Amino acid sequence: MNSHNRTALRASTLVAGLLIPFYIHAANQAPPPKRPEPQPPASQSVQPQVDKRTADAARQKQRELMAEAQAAIAETERALKALDDKRTRDALSALASATGTLELILARSPRLALAPVRTDVLTHDLLARDDTIKAAVKAVRDRLRDGDVQKARQLMQSLASEVEFRTLNIPLETYLDAIKAITPLIDAGKTEEAKTALRTMLGTLVVTTEIAPLPKLRAEEQIKAAQALSEKANRSKEDNLKLAQSIAAARDPLRIAELLGYGDKKDYKPMYQQLDELEKKTAGGKSGIGWFDKIRQQLGAWLNVAA
């Protein structure tokens, strides 16, 4: 890629219930840009709504965490610390507490397989133009064709525009079985074996991941704005202009989503066709109800973040 084919990522992390943004630069053949590539004003206009939706989703994930599961992890770590300090009685007490807590979870929810402990949120926001993304995709393919897998992997890291929710879970059944197998080791004085087993157990927590593609979120917010205007009778010239701009602006994030491979390629054509029809329906100040239902259904079927 030349100096114009550069990418930057807008990332964020969840701190005290707030999404804190920062920028990271993706490694590629050219030096990283000092600034993200400029985005169309229409795309920037819906960013506050997108940020609110992802922040709301992150807070919902935090509410779904189980205090009992967090307590069980804390007790397991306390048991390991007690064994390090040669306090076997305290270790056994901590494991008994963890066992009781996990059994209580299962008693309440017998079919629950994973108990969520912590959710981390990472936003990969690709601030790049279409031609930049196309060049990056081509570079990845070229590297793979040449057998440069690691170079391709580094380039691939930049080709994402999404909010990722990573949740750490206790696998209830296997975790309980592991605790019950460790207790006899402690009773038999096999402290080192017990400590190794505890560390292994803490390393078997299961990570589940949910992804919400940002281009699709942005497209949906543009559609929402356009729908509100399309249902307004006797629109002003300014309203008509905003409506046309919102429909047109929905195409940009959809193209980004298509280039990045979110969803099947064949699913994009019907949405582009819907946008063409909506431009015709809303032209000349015409208004109506339900015109945007189909495309909102098409978009909503792909989203992991609730509206």
Average pLDDT per 10 consecutive residues for the chain, totaling 307 residues:
38 42 40 53 81 89 90 95 95 96 93 92 85 89 93 87 92 93 95 95 91 91 92 89 91 92 88 92 87 87 52
Q: How far apart are CA 70 and CA 115, in angstroms?
A: 9
Pairing of strands 114-126, 8-15: antiparallel
Q: What is the pLDDT of residue 287?
A: 86
Q: What is the pLDDT of residue 70?
A: 93
**At what angle are helices 214-230 and 237-259 packed, to 10 degrees?**
160
- Is pTM, for the whole model, over 0.95? no
Residue 160: both structure tokens together = 């994402």
> Are residues 307 and 227 in contact, defined by beta-carbon separation less than 8 angstroms?
no
Q: What is the pLDDT of residue 13?
A: 43
Q: What is the pLDDT of residue 266?
A: 86
Helices (H), 168-213: 172-187, 191-202
Sign of the torsion formed by the C-alpha atoms of 156, 162, 168 and 174: negative
